[in-house]
């Protein structure tokens, strides 16, 4: 692990590019408002997609914010360095985002009525997407071979720790009806239906016309063409699009082109073992 690039916090690795001890301290003391909405994802699970969707659901489909404000300021990162700078400029209801496990949340999340949307994605696709991200982003370590990266991923020697630990922490959260679980795959299969569910959960009662408008603007091609969403505003020293685009494919099931049968057997056996005895089941087949 490169200590120049990563810092260790509560046992998990974080990128120094976006986190500091000051930003982590600020997050711990942050006060959630009752109408805040917190988006939670493990990295590469559809975060940027939801950073496009949430503001539109909350503001009734007004496109101004997604066309004029970069996504990292539109739905800012709870523990990130920019959070303290930007959060007070947001109008309520605010959409915020984190990759953190549940046990890292500030006390105010538990005492407020803020709602949480947890987006899950098939861990095999998460790993493939993460592998490509590590090739193009300069502030994370080179992934090595696909096989080497799989070892790191399964052992949690990657940013934000083990996928299974992250999922378990949020599945065991005591948030009751304040948390909604949705999968990348169900949104990919039927985005309008996903939007209706999110809208209902947030009490927004969006019209069918607004749902269709948001669907159109949150398509992969629309987002890829939106400079406020595709990370093209960042310098090449941070992300090298010649190596791989940030918004690479936006599909479900791409893992099938990457895993050998041996790798698949190893991956699924580790994930199964990690989730043994849990009260929830995964929404996808692991094989």
DSSP string, 7-32: EEETTEEEETTT--HHHHHHHHT---
Half-sphere CA count of 110, side-chain side, radius 13 A: 11
Other beta carbons within 10 Å of 139 = 15
Q: State residue 140's pLDDT score.
A: 76
Does a structural domain hold residue 195?
Answer: yes
Does a structural domain hold residue 287?
Answer: no
Q: State residue 285's pLDDT score.
A: 82
The two beta strands, 12-15 and 115-120, are: unpaired
Q: Is the previous residue joined to 99 through a cis bond, with omega within 30 degrees of 0?
A: no
Burial of 189 (0-12, 13-18, 19+ CB in 10 A): exposed
Which single residue is written with the structure tokens 């948030």?
Answer: 175
Q: State residue 219's pLDDT score.
A: 77
CA dist 49 and 79 (Å) reads 19
Helix (H, G, I), strand (E, B) or coil at 117: strand
Q: Using N-to-C axis directions, what is the helix angle for 146-155 and 261-274, rounded to 10°?
A: 10
Q: State residue 238's pLDDT score.
A: 54
Q: State residue 95's pLDDT score.
A: 97
Q: State residue 67's pLDDT score.
A: 83
Structural domain that includes position 56: 6-274
Does a structural domain hold residue 194?
Answer: yes
Let me know: does 237 contact 244? Beta carbons within 8 Å: no
Does a structural domain hold residue 280?
Answer: no
Q: State residue 218's pLDDT score.
A: 84
Other beta carbons within 10 Å of 230 = 17
Which residues face 137 on adjacent strands? 239
Does a structural domain hold residue 216?
Answer: yes
Q: State residue 37's pLDDT score.
A: 98
Does a structural domain hold residue 286?
Answer: no
Count of domains in the chain? 1
- Per-residue pLDDT tens listing for the chain (287 residues): 556 889 999 999 999 888 999 999 999 999 999 999 999 999 999 888 898 899 999 999 888 887 888 888 889 999 999 999 999 999 999 999 999 999 999 999 999 999 999 999 999 999 998 998 887 776 778 889 999 999 999 999 999 999 999 999 999 998 999 999 999 999 989 999 999 999 999 999 899 999 999 998 887 777 666 666 655 545 445 555 555 554 455 567 788 888 999 999 999 999 999 999 999 989 988 77
Does a structural domain hold residue 281?
Answer: no
Q: Which of 41, 137, 162, 39 is nearest to 96 (CA)?
A: 39
CA dist 30 and 27 (Å) reads 5
Q: State residue 49's pLDDT score.
A: 87
User: What's the order of all strands across the beta sheet hosting 95-98?
Assistant: 95-98, 37-41, 115-120, 179-183
The residues that are catalytic are 99
Positive or negative, the CA dihedral 202, 208, 213, 217 is positive
DSSP category for residue 176: G
Does a structural domain hold residue 282?
Answer: no
CATH number of the domain at 110, please: 3.40.50.300
């Amino acid at each position: 692990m490169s200590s120049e690039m990563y810092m260790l916090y509560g046992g998990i690795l974080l990128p120094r590019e976006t986190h500091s001890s000051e930003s982590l301290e600020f997050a711990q003391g942050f006060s959630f408002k009752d109408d805040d909405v917190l988006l939670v994802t493990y990295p590469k699970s559809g975060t940027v997609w939801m950073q496009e969707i949430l503001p539109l659901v909350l503001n009734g489909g007004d496109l101004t914010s997604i066309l004029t404000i970069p996504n990292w300021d539109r739905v800012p990162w709870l523990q990130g360095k920019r959070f303290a700078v930007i959060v007070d400029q947001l109008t309520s209801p605010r959409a915020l985002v984190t990759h953190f496990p549940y046990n890292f949340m500030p006390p105010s999340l538990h005492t407020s009525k803020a709602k949480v949307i947890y987006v899950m994605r098939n861990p095999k696709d998460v790993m493939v997407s993460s592998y490509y991200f590590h090739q193009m982003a300069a502030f994370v370590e080179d992934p090595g071979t696909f096989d080497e990266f799989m070892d790191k991923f399964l052992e949690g020697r990657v940013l934000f720790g083990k996928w299974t630990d992250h999922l378990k922490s949020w599945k065991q959260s005591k948030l009751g009806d304040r948390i909604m679980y949705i999968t990348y795959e169900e949104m990919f299969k039927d985005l309008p239906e996903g939007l209706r569910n999110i809208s209902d959960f947030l009490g927004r009662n969006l019209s069918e016309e607004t749902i269709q408008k948001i669907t159109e603007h949150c398509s992969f091609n629309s987002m890829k063409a939106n400079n406020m969403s595709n990370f093209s505003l960042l310098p090449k020293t941070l992300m090298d699009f010649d190596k791989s685009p940030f918004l690479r494919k936006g599909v479900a099931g791409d893992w099938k082109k990457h895993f050998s049968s041996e790798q698949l057997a190893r991956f699924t056996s580790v994930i199964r073992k990690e989730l043994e005895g849990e009260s929830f089941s995964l929404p996808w087949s692991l094989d």
